[in-house]
Amino acid sequence: MRGPHNIVRLIRTGATMVRTGAMNAVLDAFEAPRPLRAVAYTLGWPFQWMGYKGDEEMPAATRALTALGPAYIKFGQVLSTRPDVVGNDLARQLRVLQDKLPPFSRSEAIQQVEQELGRPMGEVFSEFSEPIAAASIAQVHKARLVDSGQEVAVKVLRPGIERAFNRDVDAFYLAARIADLFAPGARRLRPMDVIKHFDGVVQGELDLRLESAAASEFAANTVNDEGFQLPQVLWNYSGRRVMTLGWADGTALGDNAALDAAGHDRRVLAERVLSLFLRHALRDGFFHADMHQGNLKVAANGDIIAYDFGIMGHIDEYTRRVYAEILYGFIKRDYKRVAEVHFEAGYVPADQDVDEFARALRAVGEPIFGMDAAHISMGRLLNYLFEVTERFGMETRTELILLQRTMVVVEGVARSLDPHMNIWESAHPVVEDYIKSSIGPKAVASDLAKTAKVLARFGPRLPALVERALIDQSKPAPQRSDRKMDWLVPGAVGLGLGVLLCLGVTYLT
């Protein structure tokens, strides 16, 4: 599908921005310089007749992104949580994209439910409401089960959403390829890998069985987290295009007036949102990666309720430790250690100078720590860090894209609750606790125990490996089947000693 027709798609994107009036709003929000404005209008204005008209009742930016399709809507959702980046006016406009998009009809939803579950609606739900929330990929209905009378939320994919989203992402691939070919400075960002990663994440969101599985795993990880709730997945009433969960009552996290009227302390909620995200990312390596206001509620008792688990992030234990050490180093203002971690992890080429890199990091961190709490921003730190790593030849880490993006989104949510929140003070205890548990004697013992379990699986195979190696070694040189087998005897013996050593460590710990 990645053919020349996608060039038309990209031109239409610019044309739509001009036709809907969104171009001005976006350029103003980002304080674009005059040369960039001139280029944007030169490319977009002659083709505005090709742009989509959109819903004229919507604000300009929302109108443009909604007309362009689901992938663009996802981008707008991220920007809606960053009023410090795009300004309060544009952020307010884009917030509509979170859960207030035009819905499809109830009859279409019923048809999909019956087809997916293989039963008539009346046998499954005694009540099935009109859509109560509509987002870029799916919409939600409130319903009641026939069997138990339980109130539930039923999520249904938009008809034809798979094709529509693939069309958008297809054009993104072309844009990434063009950047690869004609913008050498962008190659270190690996735009093709970035789009491929984004594509994979969204393809998972288009199968609600995967979302149900993610919700179930997330619930198991967080069952003991104070101040946090998740609705229960009802597997018997879920499938690829339909997902049913227990109903969650609460106040929308994005409605500050309602939160104040309900007596909730927004400062406490802001700290809770940030600390919960960091705990899930660092402790579990599995986190909600779409934590905007449209996916969060506050229960009557003050608990945060999360839902919509289509985009979940996963990072391995080694990467979590690296990320935590980098964060902790910035919190402690230990820039030499932050630089060393980048080199140890291979994020910065070994031919660079670690001391020079540390000084560059200090230039990033110190101005931020000198700011008033209201202006300390993780987003700003990531932006400055991006500039520094570019100078030192650091490539984009695709495994960290979702984590970094979510960190920025969560910070935006927290700041919308408490504009004067000190991000570093809130992050400090969570990161410090993780550092203590993951780096030190306990962590070493735990790592050895895990290694022992892996090596122990080879135990039953050791005698055969050693025997085969000895027989092969005893053959005359010309008759040996493969000179590469010379390593087997010492290797097998070493493996055996390693297993015994690790088993001993496991026993002692």
Residues known to be catalytic: 290
Q: Beta-carbon neighbour count of residue 194 at 10 Å? A: 16
Nearest one of 375, 377, 374 to 420, comparing CA atoms: 374
Distance CA 437, CA 398 (A): 26
Q: What is the DSSP string of 38-63?
A: HHHHHHHGGGGGGS----TTS-HHHH
Q: What are phi and psi of 370, to 5 degrees?
A: -80, -5
Distance CA 58, CA 76 (A): 14
Q: What is the DSSP string of 199-229?
A: HHHHHHHT-HHHHHHHHHHHHHHHTT-TTEE
Residue spans of alpha helices (H) in 130-190: 161-182
**H/E stretch holding 412:** helix 398-417
Asked if residue 409 lies in contact with residue 74, where contact means CB atoms within 8 angstroms, the answer is: no
Q: What is the β-pairing status of strands 304-306 and 296-298?
A: antiparallel
Q: At what angle do helices 5-19 and 34-44 cross, to 10 degrees?
A: 120
Distance CA 83, CA 374 (A): 13
Asked if residue 344 lies in contact with residue 319, where contact means CB atoms within 8 angstroms, the answer is: no
Residue 235 gets which letter from DSSP? Answer: G
Q: What are phi and psi of 216, to 5 degrees?
A: -65, -45
| Separation in Å, CA 154 to CA 126, 135, 166, 291, 476 | 13, 13, 24, 20, 72
Distance CA 211, CA 214 (A): 5
| Tokens encoding 98 | 């979170």
Q: By CB neighbour count within 10 A (0-12 exposed, 13-18 middle, 19+ buried), where does 200 fall?
A: exposed
Distance CA 239, CA 1 (A): 28
